[in-house]
Structure 1
Amino acid sequence: MASVDIQTAPGAELGVRFLIQSPYTEKEHLLDLDTLNHENELLSRALSRFRVLRDDYATAPYVDSFNWPEVLDEVKRLAAESGKGFKETSFYIVAFRSRIKKTTEYADLGRLDKAAHAEAVASGGFLKYWFGEPDSELANLATCIWRTREDAKKGGTGPAHRKAAGATRAMYAFWRIDQHRLIIRDNVESWEIIPWEE
């Protein structure tokens, strides 16, 4: 059996093929970096450093809730280390803001989420998935970073995702999907996250 290198912790070393890009660590949840172009691979590696900065992330402004400057500094470092630079690229971000019902069984929600995640990873272009814990008001935030909006649409069409979406009304008292565009300029000289517009 051949050995497979898997990145398990922050420190996006070049040469590792599979990356843990979510709280789920089984093989079907790993991101295969060989399926990505240079820019998407660099962002995916840098996103291994992605973390929340504030306790009120469920309701706070999206950009202020995470360590985006640190992630983009890492993209810039990796681009320089690769010797290939970085061509301007846009990425698609989904922020799922929610409030679960008091009657929701968190284990049931977790099973639905995990199955939908594996399906989305298999569809391609799913770079990062993060979700928090419900706060005292049961509000929460989950976020997905995709190569493109088309990849996200494709990732949401399978039976596991449809089953999870179908359970939304039963499990959530409130939900809203916010869409953002992450634009990283040439050689990571600048970046911005803006509302998604077609």
Structure 2
Amino acid sequence: MALTIAESTTVPIPPKSPVPSLTHLHHHSTITTEFDPLRFEAAASLQLQPNVNKEPSTHLIASPYNHPAHLLDISGLERQDRLFSLALSYLKPIRNDYATAPYTESFNWTEVFGLVKAFSETEEHNWTAGSYYVVIFRSILLPDIDNDRLYALDAHSHREAIASGGLLKYWFGAKNENRRNLATCIWRSRNDARLGGKGPWHAQARAAAAVMYEEIKFTTLRLDIHDGVKGWELSDWKDDA
């Protein structure tokens, strides 16, 4: 899938100054397990609210799955990766046609990168330019598929991916009236994505694609966050990047 102009344009970051908890989170059990609030209302961000309860945690809800085996342990991340993963807990779509709309126009990216900047300032950290590996899945589901099987394949594949330690965010939407959907992963690196996708459930998911999808397209992008979080840019991934 070719990138649109909007998807390769550098966007300036507006200032923002929240005061969240950036190290100790509200325990995931205090947050809903329902998919829709996690996908469409960024419910995971409630873990960062001030006045942490008596059982603070370092395990972040980093997908629509709020269960222990699906959580990201931020204590094992480098500072910039931790701050970015926390900002990604606020990620949510801002238009209903995200399944077909340009990727950069479908989510609240301006807010997310504004938070990366604000979180860095809160920790008095000078953000240095870095890149991440982004995967986009656009699909058309076949009618009358086995939804329980689809859920199992996705959930178990995510458990494999999160166990590798390099998956900072996984998001998927709800199919529209034409059975189209969007899912996306944000990894620390291309190598992390390779390692995270090697498990047996990923192999089963790939094998089941022919009986689950009328069409599925994968796009891989390089996400660059500039020095001081003064801008960000998405571009086509090149294997030598």
Per the TM superposition, whether the score is higher than 0.5 is: yes
Could you tell me how far apart the structure 2 residues matched to 1:137 and 1:68 are? 26
Could you tell me how far apart the structure 1 residues matched to 2:210 and 2:197 are? 17
Residue in 1 aligned with 2:45? 10
Residue in 1 aligned with 2:159? 118
Contact 2:142 2:179 in 1 (8 A): yes
Could you tell me how far apart the structure 2 residues matched to 1:45 and 1:193 are? 20
Could you tell me how far apart the structure 2 residues matched to 1:6 and 1:129 are? 19
SS in structure 2 at match of 1:167: helix
Could you tell me how far apart the structure 2 residues matched to 1:5 and 1:74 are? 18
Residue 184 in structure 1 maps to residue 225 in structure 2: yes
Question: TM-score, normalising length from structure 2?
Answer: 0.77
* Letter in structure 2 aligned against 1:54: R
Residue in 2 aligned with 1:66? 107
Could you tell me how far apart the structure 1 residues matched to 2:184 and 2:63 are? 10
Measured after TM superposition, the shift of residue 74 of structure 1 is 0.3
Measured after TM superposition, the shift of residue 106 of structure 1 is 1.7
Residue in 1 aligned with 2:207? 166
Deviates more, 1:6-15 or 1:29-38: 6-15
Measured after TM superposition, the shift of residue 103 of structure 1 is 2.3
Could you tell me how far apart the structure 2 residues matched to 1:83 and 1:143 are? 30
Q: Which consecutive unaligned segments of at least 5 residues does structure 2 have? A: 1-24, 32-43, 51-55
* Letter in structure 1 aligned against 2:45: P
Q: Deviations over 1:7-37 (max 9, x none)?
A: 6431546985110001111111000011211
Question: TM-score, normalising length from structure 1?
Answer: 0.93
Residue 85 in structure 1 maps to residue 126 in structure 2: yes
What is the aligned length? 195
Could you tell me how far apart the structure 2 residues matched to 1:137 and 1:105 are? 17
Contact 2:26 2:49 in 1 (8 A): no
Q: Which consecutive unaligned segments of at least 5 residues does structure 1 have? A: none
Q: Deviations over 1:162-197 (max 9, x none)?
A: 111111111000000011111101110111112212
SS in structure 2 at match of 1:84: coil
Contact 1:6 1:20 in 2 (8 A): no
Higher strand share: 1
The alignment-based identity, stated in percent, is 42
Q: 1:13 to 1:37 in 2, by over 3 A?
A: farther
Residue 51 in structure 1 maps to residue 86 in structure 2: no
* Letter in structure 2 aligned against 1:197: K
